[in-house]
């Protein structure tokens, strides 16, 4: 049985595109990233931690963990702490290119293997009014980088280079290949 180590509705929706049946178990594990870890490695480490934590509860199952970060100039933008933090992130992303990295880890039979997917995202120049209106929707509050490309945040994005679903938080096509579901 496949198990998704996540409570994210977006990840559930996206995994359903390639796996019609699976369970969901939130890992609840304490996330730890060693000091000095390169930004692009962080989501892989966190995905591995989540997958291994759930695999310990579900031996014999294939557990999929995932984590996404937004990176600008080497700095990781996680989920905003509050509206002011969301506004600050969006101001920094305004008119610039940044990267979205999603780590996916698969734990089974006592081992874990993983990969990271990278997508470049470019934002339009954002006015203070646009930022205020978007933050007022509350959509940015549970999203890395304070935006959701699949929702109202779509109007902020000028373009992407890479996997759209990766920006949503789960690289569907690469995961299907990694699991051997598509050859």
What positions carry a catalytic annotation?
Answer: 67
CB 155 within 8 A of CB 142: no
Cβ partners under 8 Å of residue 59, min gap 6: none
CB 37 within 8 A of CB 64: no
CB 116 within 8 A of CB 130: no
Rg of the chain (C-alpha set): 16
* End-to-end Cα spacing for the chain: 20
């Amino acid at each position: 049985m496949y198990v998704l180590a996540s409570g994210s509705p977006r990840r559930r929706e996206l995994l359903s595109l390639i796996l019609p049946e699976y369970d969901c178990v939130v890992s609840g594990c304490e996330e730890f990233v060693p000091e000095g870890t390169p930004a692009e490695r962080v989501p892989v480490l966190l995905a591995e931690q989540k997958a291994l934590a759930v695999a310990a509860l579900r031996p014999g199952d294939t557990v999929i963990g995932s984590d996404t970060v937004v990176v600008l100039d080497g700095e990781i933008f996680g989920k905003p702490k509050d509206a002011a933090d969301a506004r600050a992130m969006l101001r920094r992303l305004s008119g610039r290119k940044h990267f979205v990295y999603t780590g996916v880890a698969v734990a089974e039979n006592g081992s874990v293997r993983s990969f990271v997917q990278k997508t470049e995202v470019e934002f339009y120049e954002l006015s203070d009014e646009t930022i205020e209106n978007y933050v007022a929707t509350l959509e940015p509050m549970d999203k890395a980088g304070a935006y959701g490309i699949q929702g109202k945040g779509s109007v902020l994005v000028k373009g992407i280079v890479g996997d759209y679903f990766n920006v949503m938080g789960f690289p569907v096509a690469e995961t299907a290949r990694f699991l051997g579901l598509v050859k």
